[in-house]
Amino acid sequence: MRSDFIRTYSPRMEALARAQAQTRVSAAIRQPEVDSADPLAAFRVKKEPYYRPVADEVELYEAAYSVRMPMMLKGPTGCGKTRFVEYMAWRLGKPLITVACNEDMTASDLVGRFLLDVQGTRWQDGPLAMAARYGAICYLDEVVEARQDTTVVIHPLTDARRVLPLEKKGELIEAHPDFQLVISYNPGYQSLMKDLKQSTKQRFGALDFSYPSHEVEAEIVAHESGVDLETASKLVHIGERARNLKGHGLDEGLSTRMLIYAGSLIAKGIAPRAACRMALVRPITDDPDMRDALDSAVTTYF
């Protein structure tokens, strides 16, 4: 039997539905108003992010930005790609719009859509349209997570045309001179289904990111977690041991981010072994032998 035939009146459900409708309307009215003087005000990086250069990536990126070359940051998770873009946006004095891509993302999520509100329909730029229109760096994090049709919308923006067609609206945005597109990409995860097309790849310059050298990584871990350099160096040793197991039972090496988590727990007074178990070993593997191997790496240093 269809449920609407047996629909019974419930004052509580009615009140809930009314309240929900009300919040929907007020949410539509309270859409963030774009400040017309500086539409990208919310995306300016106000404070210098801590970034420890690993090689010559800062100079290379600056050169790439100076010719507005679209950039692809390649490397495993947690090795500093996002932090690097934030730092470069700050250094270049450009606003940064970051989009964390996921498999439910559609082209409209990037480009924009018509919204219904009390005054009728109105267009709302998506993050990519906003960046192109007003001149920001647009960072598409983990771009292969998005559906393939999504990546196609970036094509006309990443060649000599530098335009973004808003098909639904019938508008062609010519990218602002400051606009640049940056994507991140983890070559380790990619299945054939999820790899970027050559036609997409060949529109970008690429910088390889990997784990920094021992000294540099220890410095980063100490800075970010608050442990002393000696403890940070031990954590990095454990990380390096685990990275050697990649391909021998571990899918991905221990990231700098994980080492920072472990360090932060130690800095809070947690015993180093417990901190490492929780922040380093348990998250990356369920395999009992692998856990033993990693636990013994921990006990070697702590």
Ligand X SMILES: Nc1ncnc2c1ncn2[C@@H]1O[C@H](COP(=O)(O)OP(=O)(O)O)[C@@H](O)[C@H]1O
Q: Which stretch binds ligand X (CB under 6 A): 78-86, 109-117, 129-137, 286-294?
A: 78-86
- Given a contact cutoff of 8 angstroms between Cβ atoms, the answer to whether 115 and 82 are in contact is no
Taking CA 232 as the corner, what is the angle to CA 80 and CA 262, rounded to the nearest 5 degrees? 75
The option from ligand X, Mg ion, none interacting with 257 (CB < 5 to 8 A, set by class) reads: ligand X
Shortest Cβ 225–ligand X spacing (Å): 9
Q: Which stretch binds Mg ion (CB under 5 A): 80-88, 165-173, 218-226, 246-254?
A: 80-88
Q: Which stretch binds ligand X (CB under 6 A): 63-71, 74-82, 102-110, 274-282?
A: 74-82
Q: What is the pattern of x (binds ligand X, CB under 6 A) and - over residues 253-272?
A: ---xx--x------------
**What residues numbered 223-242 form the site for ligand X, per CB under 6 A?**
224
Residue with tokens 């639904």: 168
- Closest residue to Mg ion in the complex (CB): 82
User: Mind giving me the DSSP string for 46-108?
Assistant: -SPPP----SSHHHHHHHHHHTT--EEEE--TTSSHHHHHHHHHHHHT--EEEEE--TT--HH
- Given a contact cutoff of 8 angstroms between Cβ atoms, the answer to whether 188 and 195 are in contact is no
Give the Cα separation of 64 and 62 in Å (integer).
5
80 contributes a contact to ligand X by CB under 6 A: yes
Sole binder of ligand X in the list 16, 24, 50, 163 (CB under 6 A): 50
Torsion of CA 101, 106, 109, 111, to 10 degrees: 110
Shortest Cβ 149–ligand X spacing (Å): 25
Beta strand 112-117 with 120-125 is: antiparallel
- Interface ranges with Mg ion (CB under 5 A): 82
- Interface ranges with ligand X (CB under 6 A): 50-52, 54, 77-83, 220, 224, 256-257, 260
